Amino acid sequence: MNVSFFGELLQSISDRGRALLDRTRERRVEPAARSESIIDLCEHLLSGRGEASGVALAREILTHYGELTTGPRIAFFEALALRFGPDHARLNTAIEAWRAAPTDETAAEVHVAAEPRRQELFRRLNLAPNGTAALVRMREQLLGVLDRRNDLSAVDADFVHLFSSWFNRGFLVLRRIDWATPAVILEKIIRYEAVHRIRGWDDLRRRIDPRDRRCYAFFHPALVDEPLIFVEVALTQKIPDAIGPILAVQRDTVEVATTATFYSISNCQPGLAGVSFGNFLLKQVIEEICKEMPSLATFVTLSPVPNFAGWLKRERAVEGSRVLTEEDKAALQNLDLDGWWQTPKTRDPVREPLLRAAAYYFLHARNTRNRPADSVARFHLGNGARLEQMNWLADGSQRGIEQSHGLMVNYLYELDAIEKNHEAYAEQRAIVASNTVKKLLRATPREVAIVGK
Protein backbone atom coordinates (compact mmCIF):
# COMPACT_ATOMS: atom_id res chain seq x y z
CA MET A 1 0.00 0.00 0.00
CA ASN A 2 1.56 3.26 -1.06
CA VAL A 3 0.42 5.36 1.83
CA SER A 4 3.41 7.55 2.12
CA PHE A 5 1.45 10.57 0.99
CA PHE A 6 -0.42 10.37 4.23
CA GLY A 7 2.78 9.64 6.01
CA GLU A 8 4.10 12.97 4.88
CA LEU A 9 1.21 14.81 6.42
CA LEU A 10 2.70 14.42 9.82
CA GLN A 11 6.10 15.31 8.58
CA SER A 12 4.63 18.66 7.70
CA ILE A 13 3.44 19.08 11.24
CA SER A 14 6.83 18.16 12.46
CA ASP A 15 8.61 20.61 10.20
CA ARG A 16 6.20 23.28 11.30
CA GLY A 17 6.94 22.50 14.90
CA ARG A 18 10.66 22.62 14.46
CA ALA A 19 10.47 25.80 12.45
CA LEU A 20 8.66 27.37 15.35
CA LEU A 21 11.21 26.21 17.84
CA ASP A 22 13.92 27.76 15.76
CA ARG A 23 12.02 30.98 15.43
CA THR A 24 11.36 31.30 19.11
CA ARG A 25 15.01 30.82 19.84
CA GLU A 26 15.85 33.62 17.53
CA ARG A 27 13.27 36.32 17.93
CA ARG A 28 13.14 37.37 21.47
CA VAL A 29 10.85 40.23 22.22
CA GLU A 30 11.75 42.04 25.37
CA PRO A 31 8.95 41.25 27.83
CA ALA A 32 8.99 44.82 29.06
CA ALA A 33 8.43 46.04 25.55
CA ARG A 34 4.94 44.65 25.46
CA SER A 35 2.22 47.13 26.10
CA GLU A 36 -0.46 44.56 26.81
CA SER A 37 -0.30 42.13 29.68
CA ILE A 38 -0.72 38.43 29.01
CA ILE A 39 -4.16 38.63 30.59
CA ASP A 40 -5.20 41.41 28.28
CA LEU A 41 -3.94 39.37 25.36
CA CYS A 42 -6.05 36.44 26.52
CA GLU A 43 -9.11 38.64 26.74
CA HIS A 44 -8.30 39.97 23.31
CA LEU A 45 -7.99 36.46 21.93
CA LEU A 46 -11.31 35.47 23.49
CA SER A 47 -13.07 38.62 22.34
CA GLY A 48 -13.25 37.25 18.86
CA ARG A 49 -12.31 40.64 17.50
CA GLY A 50 -9.10 40.12 15.70
CA GLU A 51 -9.95 36.55 14.86
CA ALA A 52 -8.07 37.11 11.66
CA SER A 53 -4.92 37.30 13.73
CA GLY A 54 -5.90 34.57 16.14
CA VAL A 55 -2.92 32.43 15.28
CA ALA A 56 -0.45 35.26 15.81
CA LEU A 57 -2.13 36.27 19.04
CA ALA A 58 -2.13 32.73 20.37
CA ARG A 59 1.52 32.39 19.53
CA GLU A 60 2.34 35.64 21.28
CA ILE A 61 0.52 34.60 24.43
CA LEU A 62 2.30 31.27 24.56
CA THR A 63 5.68 32.87 23.96
CA HIS A 64 4.96 35.37 26.67
CA TYR A 65 3.81 32.60 29.01
CA GLY A 66 6.99 30.66 28.32
CA GLU A 67 9.04 33.56 29.64
CA LEU A 68 7.18 33.94 32.91
CA THR A 69 9.05 33.23 36.11
CA THR A 70 7.41 31.29 38.93
CA GLY A 71 5.62 34.16 40.63
CA PRO A 72 3.99 35.65 37.57
CA ARG A 73 3.17 32.17 36.35
CA ILE A 74 1.18 31.43 39.47
CA ALA A 75 -0.48 34.80 39.11
CA PHE A 76 -1.45 33.77 35.60
CA PHE A 77 -2.97 30.54 36.91
CA GLU A 78 -4.90 32.56 39.46
CA ALA A 79 -6.22 34.78 36.73
CA LEU A 80 -7.28 31.70 34.80
CA ALA A 81 -9.18 30.54 37.87
CA LEU A 82 -10.73 33.85 38.85
CA ARG A 83 -11.23 35.75 35.64
CA PHE A 84 -11.79 33.01 33.08
CA GLY A 85 -14.39 30.98 34.90
CA PRO A 86 -18.00 30.83 33.75
CA ASP A 87 -19.94 34.04 33.17
CA HIS A 88 -22.15 34.11 36.26
CA ALA A 89 -24.65 36.62 34.92
CA ARG A 90 -25.13 34.70 31.73
CA LEU A 91 -25.42 31.51 33.69
CA ASN A 92 -28.10 32.95 35.95
CA THR A 93 -30.07 34.14 32.97
CA ALA A 94 -29.78 30.75 31.37
CA ILE A 95 -30.91 29.07 34.55
CA GLU A 96 -33.94 31.30 34.74
CA ALA A 97 -34.86 30.29 31.22
CA TRP A 98 -34.38 26.63 32.09
CA ARG A 99 -36.55 26.91 35.14
CA ALA A 100 -39.24 28.62 33.12
CA ALA A 101 -39.11 25.93 30.45
CA PRO A 102 -36.88 22.96 31.18
CA THR A 103 -36.16 21.82 27.62
CA ASP A 104 -33.04 20.57 25.93
CA GLU A 105 -32.67 23.97 24.29
CA THR A 106 -32.61 25.87 27.55
CA ALA A 107 -30.36 23.18 29.02
CA ALA A 108 -27.99 23.71 26.10
CA GLU A 109 -27.71 27.38 26.92
CA VAL A 110 -27.10 26.48 30.57
CA HIS A 111 -24.34 24.17 29.40
CA VAL A 112 -22.71 26.85 27.31
CA ALA A 113 -23.12 29.52 29.94
CA ALA A 114 -21.65 27.28 32.62
CA GLU A 115 -18.57 26.48 30.57
CA PRO A 116 -15.57 28.23 32.06
CA ARG A 117 -14.32 30.80 29.57
CA ARG A 118 -10.84 29.35 29.83
CA GLN A 119 -11.96 26.28 27.89
CA GLU A 120 -12.52 28.43 24.85
CA LEU A 121 -9.30 30.22 25.67
CA PHE A 122 -7.38 26.96 25.62
CA ARG A 123 -8.99 25.95 22.35
CA ARG A 124 -7.89 29.22 20.79
CA LEU A 125 -4.38 28.99 22.21
CA ASN A 126 -4.21 25.66 20.43
CA LEU A 127 -4.29 27.59 17.14
CA ALA A 128 -0.66 28.52 17.62
CA PRO A 129 1.99 26.35 16.03
CA ASN A 130 2.99 23.81 18.65
CA GLY A 131 0.08 25.08 20.74
CA THR A 132 -0.83 21.63 22.00
CA ALA A 133 2.66 21.00 23.32
CA ALA A 134 2.69 24.37 25.00
CA LEU A 135 -0.65 23.70 26.70
CA VAL A 136 0.54 20.32 27.93
CA ARG A 137 3.57 21.99 29.44
CA MET A 138 1.38 24.67 30.95
CA ARG A 139 -0.67 22.05 32.72
CA GLU A 140 2.49 20.30 33.88
CA GLN A 141 3.51 23.53 35.58
CA LEU A 142 0.04 23.95 37.00
CA LEU A 143 0.24 20.48 38.53
CA GLY A 144 3.45 21.57 40.20
CA VAL A 145 1.60 24.11 42.33
CA LEU A 146 -1.71 22.32 42.67
CA ASP A 147 -0.80 20.65 45.96
CA ARG A 148 -0.75 23.86 47.87
CA ARG A 149 -3.28 25.73 45.77
CA ASN A 150 -6.58 23.92 45.89
CA ASP A 151 -8.25 26.95 44.39
CA LEU A 152 -6.65 26.14 41.04
CA SER A 153 -8.15 22.67 40.71
CA ALA A 154 -10.97 23.94 38.51
CA VAL A 155 -8.39 25.12 36.00
CA ASP A 156 -6.86 21.68 36.08
CA ALA A 157 -10.22 20.03 35.51
CA ASP A 158 -10.68 22.07 32.35
CA PHE A 159 -7.31 20.96 31.05
CA VAL A 160 -8.23 17.34 31.69
CA HIS A 161 -11.55 17.75 29.95
CA LEU A 162 -9.98 19.19 26.79
CA PHE A 163 -7.02 16.85 26.73
CA SER A 164 -9.32 13.85 27.09
CA SER A 165 -11.08 14.94 23.94
CA TRP A 166 -7.95 15.84 21.99
CA PHE A 167 -5.99 12.79 23.06
CA ASN A 168 -8.87 10.51 22.35
CA ARG A 169 -7.53 7.11 21.47
CA GLY A 170 -8.82 7.58 17.94
CA PHE A 171 -6.07 10.14 17.42
CA LEU A 172 -3.23 8.14 18.95
CA VAL A 173 -0.70 6.28 16.86
CA LEU A 174 1.21 3.23 17.99
CA ARG A 175 4.81 3.02 16.84
CA ARG A 176 7.45 0.42 17.40
CA ILE A 177 10.62 1.79 18.94
CA ASP A 178 13.77 0.04 17.81
CA TRP A 179 17.35 0.70 16.86
CA ALA A 180 16.27 2.36 13.61
CA THR A 181 14.24 4.96 15.51
CA PRO A 182 15.58 8.53 15.39
CA ALA A 183 17.91 9.39 18.23
CA VAL A 184 15.74 12.34 19.23
CA ILE A 185 13.02 9.85 20.22
CA LEU A 186 15.37 7.33 21.75
CA GLU A 187 16.91 9.83 24.11
CA LYS A 188 13.42 10.49 25.44
CA ILE A 189 12.83 6.81 26.00
CA ILE A 190 16.00 6.82 28.11
CA ARG A 191 14.86 9.87 30.00
CA TYR A 192 11.23 8.89 30.58
CA GLU A 193 11.72 5.28 31.64
CA ALA A 194 10.16 5.29 35.09
CA VAL A 195 10.25 1.71 36.31
CA HIS A 196 13.66 0.21 35.65
CA ARG A 197 16.13 2.98 34.86
CA ILE A 198 17.94 2.84 31.49
CA ARG A 199 21.65 3.40 31.99
CA GLY A 200 22.66 5.01 28.71
CA TRP A 201 22.62 4.02 25.06
CA ASP A 202 24.10 0.56 25.45
CA ASP A 203 21.47 -0.34 28.00
CA LEU A 204 18.78 1.11 25.74
CA ARG A 205 20.00 -0.96 22.84
CA ARG A 206 19.80 -4.12 24.89
CA ARG A 207 16.13 -3.37 25.48
CA ILE A 208 15.00 -2.53 21.95
CA ASP A 209 17.34 -4.16 19.47
CA PRO A 210 17.55 -7.90 20.24
CA ARG A 211 15.11 -10.13 18.46
CA ASP A 212 13.40 -11.12 21.69
CA ARG A 213 12.76 -7.56 22.84
CA ARG A 214 10.11 -5.07 21.78
CA CYS A 215 9.23 -1.53 22.66
CA TYR A 216 6.11 0.35 21.58
CA ALA A 217 4.97 3.89 22.18
CA PHE A 218 1.86 5.96 21.59
CA PHE A 219 2.30 9.25 19.73
CA HIS A 220 -0.09 12.08 18.94
CA PRO A 221 0.09 14.06 15.69
CA ALA A 222 0.22 17.38 17.50
CA LEU A 223 3.04 16.48 19.89
CA VAL A 224 6.09 16.33 17.72
CA ASP A 225 8.97 14.14 18.83
CA GLU A 226 7.21 13.23 22.05
CA PRO A 227 6.13 9.73 23.03
CA LEU A 228 3.10 9.79 25.32
CA ILE A 229 3.54 6.41 26.95
CA PHE A 230 5.63 3.37 26.13
CA VAL A 231 5.93 -0.23 27.13
CA GLU A 232 8.94 -2.53 27.08
CA VAL A 233 8.37 -6.17 26.24
CA ALA A 234 10.51 -9.25 26.72
CA LEU A 235 9.69 -12.35 24.72
CA THR A 236 10.24 -15.28 27.02
CA GLN A 237 9.66 -18.99 27.29
CA LYS A 238 7.67 -18.84 30.50
CA ILE A 239 6.15 -16.36 32.88
CA PRO A 240 9.22 -14.71 34.41
CA ASP A 241 9.60 -14.57 38.16
CA ALA A 242 12.37 -11.99 38.51
CA ILE A 243 13.49 -8.84 36.74
CA GLY A 244 17.22 -9.52 36.93
CA PRO A 245 17.47 -12.04 34.09
CA ILE A 246 15.46 -9.74 31.82
CA LEU A 247 17.75 -6.78 32.30
CA ALA A 248 20.98 -8.80 32.38
CA VAL A 249 23.84 -7.55 30.23
CA GLN A 250 24.82 -11.06 29.24
CA ARG A 251 22.03 -13.38 28.28
CA ASP A 252 20.97 -15.73 25.53
CA THR A 253 18.45 -14.57 22.99
CA VAL A 254 15.20 -16.49 23.14
CA GLU A 255 14.65 -18.19 19.81
CA VAL A 256 11.14 -19.56 20.20
CA ALA A 257 9.08 -17.49 22.58
CA THR A 258 5.68 -18.41 23.94
CA THR A 259 5.17 -15.49 26.29
CA ALA A 260 5.25 -11.72 25.91
CA THR A 261 6.14 -10.06 29.18
CA PHE A 262 5.41 -6.37 29.69
CA TYR A 263 8.05 -5.46 32.22
CA SER A 264 7.92 -1.67 32.14
CA ILE A 265 5.23 0.88 31.33
CA SER A 266 6.13 4.55 31.54
CA ASN A 267 4.02 7.65 31.11
CA CYS A 268 6.06 10.36 29.46
CA GLN A 269 4.01 13.53 29.76
CA PRO A 270 3.30 14.69 33.28
CA GLY A 271 1.05 17.32 31.72
CA LEU A 272 -1.25 14.55 30.53
CA ALA A 273 -1.69 12.93 33.95
CA GLY A 274 -5.23 11.68 34.32
CA VAL A 275 -5.69 11.18 30.59
CA SER A 276 -5.33 7.45 30.42
CA PHE A 277 -4.03 5.59 27.41
CA GLY A 278 -2.29 2.75 29.17
CA ASN A 279 -5.13 0.29 28.73
CA PHE A 280 -5.36 0.98 25.02
CA LEU A 281 -1.61 0.69 24.69
CA LEU A 282 -1.38 -2.83 26.09
CA LYS A 283 -4.28 -4.09 24.04
CA GLN A 284 -2.96 -2.64 20.83
CA VAL A 285 0.53 -3.93 21.51
CA ILE A 286 -0.88 -7.40 22.07
CA GLU A 287 -2.62 -7.14 18.71
CA GLU A 288 0.59 -6.04 16.99
CA ILE A 289 2.68 -8.78 18.51
CA CYS A 290 0.09 -11.42 17.73
CA LYS A 291 0.11 -10.38 14.11
CA GLU A 292 3.87 -10.73 13.95
CA MET A 293 4.15 -13.91 16.01
CA PRO A 294 0.98 -15.92 15.97
CA SER A 295 2.62 -18.56 18.14
CA LEU A 296 2.61 -16.38 21.24
CA ALA A 297 0.05 -17.66 23.69
CA THR A 298 0.63 -15.81 26.95
CA PHE A 299 0.59 -12.09 27.69
CA VAL A 300 1.69 -11.16 31.12
CA THR A 301 3.31 -8.37 33.06
CA LEU A 302 6.18 -8.41 35.48
CA SER A 303 5.10 -5.60 37.75
CA PRO A 304 6.30 -3.79 40.84
CA VAL A 305 4.14 -3.59 43.95
CA PRO A 306 4.78 0.02 44.87
CA ASN A 307 2.55 0.36 47.92
CA PHE A 308 3.19 -2.95 49.62
CA ALA A 309 6.02 -2.07 51.98
CA GLY A 310 4.18 0.97 53.27
CA TRP A 311 1.02 -1.01 53.84
CA LEU A 312 2.90 -3.82 55.56
CA LYS A 313 4.65 -1.40 57.86
CA ARG A 314 1.34 0.05 58.95
CA GLU A 315 -0.16 -3.38 59.36
CA ARG A 316 2.72 -4.53 61.52
CA ALA A 317 1.97 -1.64 63.84
CA VAL A 318 -1.69 -2.56 64.22
CA GLU A 319 -2.52 -4.12 67.54
CA GLY A 320 -4.40 -7.36 67.07
CA SER A 321 -4.12 -7.23 63.30
CA ARG A 322 -6.50 -9.50 61.48
CA VAL A 323 -3.84 -9.99 58.88
CA LEU A 324 -0.70 -10.75 60.79
CA THR A 325 -0.35 -13.07 63.71
CA GLU A 326 2.08 -12.22 66.47
CA GLU A 327 4.25 -14.95 65.06
CA ASP A 328 4.18 -13.30 61.67
CA LYS A 329 5.06 -9.97 63.18
CA ALA A 330 8.02 -11.47 64.92
CA ALA A 331 9.28 -13.06 61.76
CA LEU A 332 8.81 -9.87 59.77
CA GLN A 333 11.03 -7.95 62.17
CA ASN A 334 13.91 -9.18 60.04
CA LEU A 335 12.76 -6.72 57.40
CA ASP A 336 14.18 -3.97 59.57
CA LEU A 337 17.68 -5.40 59.32
CA ASP A 338 20.03 -4.01 56.72
CA GLY A 339 20.55 -6.43 53.87
CA TRP A 340 18.10 -8.94 55.39
CA TRP A 341 17.51 -10.51 52.00
CA GLN A 342 21.14 -11.34 51.39
CA THR A 343 21.56 -14.30 53.71
CA PRO A 344 19.30 -17.28 54.19
CA LYS A 345 19.38 -16.80 57.91
CA THR A 346 17.53 -13.49 57.87
CA ARG A 347 15.74 -14.10 54.62
CA ASP A 348 14.12 -17.49 55.03
CA PRO A 349 11.89 -16.77 58.03
CA VAL A 350 10.41 -13.78 56.24
CA ARG A 351 9.31 -15.59 53.16
CA GLU A 352 6.16 -17.35 54.23
CA PRO A 353 4.51 -14.65 56.33
CA LEU A 354 5.38 -12.01 53.77
CA LEU A 355 3.86 -13.90 50.86
CA ARG A 356 0.74 -14.63 52.90
CA ALA A 357 0.49 -10.97 53.85
CA ALA A 358 0.95 -10.02 50.20
CA ALA A 359 -1.92 -12.28 49.19
CA TYR A 360 -4.09 -10.51 51.74
CA TYR A 361 -2.81 -7.15 50.51
CA PHE A 362 -3.87 -7.87 46.98
CA LEU A 363 -7.14 -9.61 47.72
CA HIS A 364 -8.49 -7.48 50.54
CA ALA A 365 -6.57 -4.26 51.24
CA ARG A 366 -8.48 -1.25 50.02
CA ASN A 367 -7.79 2.43 49.73
CA THR A 368 -10.23 5.10 50.87
CA ARG A 369 -12.17 4.87 47.60
CA ASN A 370 -12.68 1.14 48.19
CA ARG A 371 -10.24 0.24 45.44
CA PRO A 372 -7.21 -2.05 45.77
CA ALA A 373 -4.53 -0.46 47.90
CA ASP A 374 -1.90 -1.02 45.21
CA SER A 375 -1.84 1.53 42.41
CA VAL A 376 -0.35 -0.84 39.85
CA ALA A 377 -2.94 -3.45 40.78
CA ARG A 378 -5.68 -0.90 40.22
CA PHE A 379 -4.32 -0.21 36.74
CA HIS A 380 -4.04 -3.80 35.55
CA LEU A 381 -7.14 -5.16 37.27
CA GLY A 382 -9.06 -2.21 35.89
CA ASN A 383 -7.83 -3.22 32.46
CA GLY A 384 -9.28 -6.68 32.89
CA ALA A 385 -6.09 -8.50 33.79
CA ARG A 386 -5.86 -11.22 36.45
CA LEU A 387 -3.38 -11.35 39.30
CA GLU A 388 -1.53 -14.48 38.29
CA GLN A 389 1.57 -15.01 40.35
CA MET A 390 3.56 -13.50 43.19
CA ASN A 391 7.35 -13.60 42.99
CA TRP A 392 9.45 -13.62 46.10
CA LEU A 393 12.61 -11.51 45.92
CA ALA A 394 12.08 -10.78 42.27
CA ASP A 395 13.59 -7.29 42.39
CA GLY A 396 16.74 -6.91 44.44
CA SER A 397 17.33 -3.27 43.48
CA GLN A 398 17.32 -0.67 46.24
CA ARG A 399 14.01 0.61 45.03
CA GLY A 400 12.52 -2.86 44.79
CA ILE A 401 13.53 -3.65 48.33
CA GLU A 402 12.27 -0.35 49.66
CA GLN A 403 8.85 -0.31 48.09
CA SER A 404 7.93 -3.99 48.20
CA HIS A 405 10.63 -5.95 50.05
CA GLY A 406 11.64 -7.29 46.63
CA LEU A 407 8.19 -8.61 45.74
CA MET A 408 7.00 -8.49 42.14
CA VAL A 409 3.85 -9.94 40.60
CA ASN A 410 2.55 -11.00 37.21
CA TYR A 411 -0.76 -9.81 35.86
CA LEU A 412 -2.11 -12.03 33.13
CA TYR A 413 -3.93 -10.60 30.10
CA GLU A 414 -6.10 -13.44 28.90
CA LEU A 415 -7.77 -12.09 25.80
CA ASP A 416 -11.03 -13.95 26.19
CA ALA A 417 -11.39 -13.03 29.83
CA ILE A 418 -10.48 -9.34 29.77
CA GLU A 419 -14.00 -8.08 29.30
CA LYS A 420 -15.47 -10.35 31.96
CA ASN A 421 -12.70 -9.55 34.44
CA HIS A 422 -13.07 -5.88 33.83
CA GLU A 423 -16.79 -5.94 34.46
CA ALA A 424 -16.41 -7.97 37.62
CA TYR A 425 -13.87 -5.47 38.84
CA ALA A 426 -15.82 -2.40 37.77
CA GLU A 427 -19.18 -3.49 39.06
CA GLN A 428 -18.49 -5.71 42.03
CA ARG A 429 -15.03 -4.58 42.99
CA ALA A 430 -13.99 -8.17 42.49
CA ILE A 431 -10.28 -8.93 42.55
CA VAL A 432 -9.68 -11.51 39.88
CA ALA A 433 -6.78 -13.68 40.94
CA SER A 434 -5.43 -17.09 40.13
CA ASN A 435 -6.14 -19.98 42.49
CA THR A 436 -2.46 -20.06 43.33
CA VAL A 437 -2.69 -16.60 44.81
CA LYS A 438 -6.00 -17.21 46.49
CA LYS A 439 -4.86 -20.43 48.10
CA LEU A 440 -1.87 -18.66 49.47
CA LEU A 441 -4.09 -16.67 51.72
CA ARG A 442 -4.98 -19.63 53.86
CA ALA A 443 -2.04 -21.80 53.07
CA THR A 444 0.08 -23.45 55.67
CA PRO A 445 3.70 -22.43 55.66
CA ARG A 446 4.58 -25.61 53.87
CA GLU A 447 2.14 -24.94 51.12
CA VAL A 448 3.45 -21.42 50.68
CA ALA A 449 6.87 -22.84 50.25
CA ILE A 450 5.59 -24.83 47.33
CA VAL A 451 3.31 -22.43 45.53
CA GLY A 452 5.14 -19.22 46.25
CA LYS A 453 7.81 -19.90 43.81
**Residue 325 binds a second copy, judged by CB under 8 A:** no
Residues 225-244 within binding reach of a second copy (CB under 8 A): 225
Residues 18-37 within binding reach of a second copy (CB under 8 A): 18, 22, 25
State which of residues 85, 144, 210, 306 lies at the interface with a second copy (CB under 8 A).
Answer: 85
**Residue 49 binds a second copy, judged by CB under 8 A:** yes
Least distance from a second copy to the Cβ atom of residue 68, Å: 21
Count of residues that interact with a second copy, criterion CB under 8 A: 95
**Is-contact 424 430, C-beta < 8 A?**
yes
- Residue 49 or 148 having the CB closest to a second copy: 49
Least distance from a second copy to the Cβ atom of residue 82, Å: 8
**Residue 451 binds a second copy, judged by CB under 8 A:** no
**Is-contact 281 229, C-beta < 8 A?**
yes
| Region from 121-129, 237-245, 325-333, 430-438 binding a second copy, contact rule CB under 8 A | 121-129
| Region from 60-68, 105-113, 266-274, 444-452 binding a second copy, contact rule CB under 8 A | 105-113
**Is-contact 66 134, C-beta < 8 A?**
yes
- Distance of alpha carbon 113 from alpha carbon 157, whole angstroms: 17
Return the bridge partners of 390, or none: 409
Comparing C-alpha atoms, which of 396, 408, 401, 315 is closest to residue 353?
A: 315
What is the pattern of x (binds a second copy, CB under 8 A) and - over residues 263-302? Answer: ----------------xx--x-------------------
**Residue 88 binds a second copy, judged by CB under 8 A:** yes
| Region from 78-86, 314-322, 323-331, 353-361 binding a second copy, contact rule CB under 8 A | 78-86
Structure-derived torsion over alpha carbons of residues 245, 247, 249, 251, reported in degrees to the nearest 10:
40
Alpha-carbon distance values, 66 to 28, 249, 251, 275 (Å) = 11, 42, 47, 23
State which of residues 72, 74, 98, 447 lies at the interface with a second copy (CB under 8 A).
Answer: 98
**Residue 251 binds a second copy, judged by CB under 8 A:** no
**Is-contact 233 285, C-beta < 8 A?**
yes
- Residue 7 or 344 having the CB closest to a second copy: 7
Determine the residue type at 443: A
**Residue 132 binds a second copy, judged by CB under 8 A:** yes
Return the bridge partners of 446, or none: none
- Distance of alpha carbon 267 from alpha carbon 229, whole angstroms: 4
State which of residues 29, 75, 108, 297 lies at the interface with a second copy (CB under 8 A).
Answer: 108
State which of residues 75, 297, 318, 426 lies at the interface with a second copy (CB under 8 A).
Answer: 426
- Residue 184 or 450 having the CB closest to a second copy: 184
Return the bridge partners of 262, or none: 233, 301
**Residue 127 binds a second copy, judged by CB under 8 A:** yes
State which of residues 31, 48, 274, 445 lies at the interface with a second copy (CB under 8 A).
Answer: 48
Structure-derived torsion over alpha carbons of residues 170, 172, 178, 181, reported in degrees to the nearest 10:
130
State which of residues 219, 263, 340, 341 lies at the interface with a second copy (CB under 8 A).
Answer: 219
Least distance from a second copy to the Cβ atom of residue 31, Å: 21
What is the per-residue burial (b if ≥16 Cβ within 10 Å, else e) of 240-266?
Answer: bbbbeebbeeeeeebeebebbbbbbbb
Could you write out the three-class secondary structure of 276-307? CCHHHHHHHHHHHHHHHCCCCCEEEECEECCC
Least distance from a second copy to the Cβ atom of residue 97, Å: 12
Least distance from a second copy to the Cβ atom of residue 401, Å: 31
- Residue 211 or 399 having the CB closest to a second copy: 211
Least distance from a second copy to the Cβ atom of residue 56, Å: 8
Q: Which long-range contacts (CB under 8 A, 24 or more apart) does 235-238 make?
A: 235/259, 235/260, 235/261, 235/293, 235/296, 236/212, 236/260, 236/261
**Residue 8 binds a second copy, judged by CB under 8 A:** yes
**Is-contact 304 262, C-beta < 8 A?**
no
What is the pattern of x (binds a second copy, CB under 8 A) and - over residues 149-188? Answer: -----x--x----x-xxx-xxxx-xxxx-xxxxxxxxx--
Rg (CA), the chain: 26
State which of residues 45, 110, 243, 357 lies at the interface with a second copy (CB under 8 A).
Answer: 110
| Region from 34-42, 200-208, 260-268, 349-357 binding a second copy, contact rule CB under 8 A | 200-208
State which of residues 69, 339, 427, 442 lies at the interface with a second copy (CB under 8 A).
Answer: 427
Residues 352-381 within binding reach of a second copy (CB under 8 A): none
Strand, helix or coil at 412?
strand
**Is-contact 158 119, C-beta < 8 A?**
yes
